[in-house]
Amino acid sequence: MNTLLGRRTRALAATTATAGLMLVVAGCTSTDGGGSKTAAGGVELAKAGKLTTCTHLPYPPFQSEVDGKVQGFDVSLIDLVAKDLGVQQAIRDTPFENFKTGAFLNSGECDVAAAGMTITEERKKNVDFSDPYFDATQAVLVDKKSGVNSLADVKAKKVKLGAQAQTTGEDYANSKGFDPVSFESSDAVLNGLRTGQVKAVVIDYPVVQGWLKDKANADAYKVVDNLKTGEQYGFTVKKGNSKLVAAINKAIADAKADGTYKKLYEKWIGPYDPSVAAPSASPSAS
């Protein structure tokens, strides 16, 4: 996910993300107790007893608020990191544009950023990434009544295309000569389809998988293209925070080795693809 908005049309849509920081109760959340800010392994934390995670809601199946708790694949993986550090995870909902700059990491408001974020060379200039934990593709989802059967059809039939603002999906659409309607969140992208603002969207395939678990969505929409863009997701920390990167990498590796990763994948995303369990250590920039 991520790039600056250009001349693209912006579709105003409701979103749960706020302009400021919002502390959200995660699946595993701590209290404001005292104690040291130094966790296991010498990892320095922003707040004692907490591994504070910046994210951008909603982005199911990676993170979304359900029954007052933030849950999802990313949340579950970072919970494993927090457990290893002997602390608990607390989540802050933040504007997505700050992920590129690492603003909240640099200011010490968060220790780690987790938002289904693609590893790119541009982002590496401002933040340090963990090892990749997920291989991703972009999907083209269309209204079944649109008559569209491919991304090429979208252009040929002049069908309005949508994408989430500041994401690699939007980047991809722009690189192919589209002028997509920009939506603030994944929920807003889906709402754009439902309300007819757009007839097709480009967005991360795992998000589409989550949408299509709902029968009403499966009856109304279909995937017509799966775009292999070489994207891999990583978690980010403030540049130079090598101890926390090492802790995250260890938790990811351990989860893959003991079967926890597979269980979480099946719980949040869907049928497990073994090729995802060991993404390359040298991710391609998208």
Does residue 144 sit in the same domain as residue 194? Answer: yes
Within a domain: 176: yes
User: Does residue 277 register a pLDDT over 50?
Assistant: no
Query: In the numeric block, which tokens belong to residue 5?
Result: 């908005």
Q: Quote the number of domains for the chain.
A: 2
What is the structure's pLDDT at 272? 78
Task: Read off the pLDDT of residues 26-83 as tens digits, 9 standing for 90 and up.
Answer: 444 333 445 679 999 899 999 999 999 999 888 888 999 888 899 999 999 999 999 9
Does residue 106 sit in the same domain as residue 213? Answer: no
Does residue 141 sit in the same domain as residue 119? Answer: no
**By C-alpha distance, which of 53, 169, 77 is closest to 118?**
169
What is the structure's pLDDT at 1? 52
Does residue 200 sit in the same domain as residue 182? Answer: yes
Q: For residues 100 and 106, is the Cβ–Cβ distance under 8 A?
A: no
Q: For residues 79 and 30, is the Cβ–Cβ distance under 8 A?
A: no
Task: Read off the pLDDT of residues 221-262 as tens digits, 9 standing for 90 and up.
Answer: 999 998 888 889 999 999 999 999 999 999 999 999 999 999
- Alpha helices by DSSP H, listed for the chain, are 73-85, 97-101, 103-106, 121-124, 151-156, 168-175, 186-194, 205-211, 215-220, 242-258, 260-268
Neighbours of 177 (CB within 10 A): 7
Which H or E run contains 53?
Answer: strand 50-55
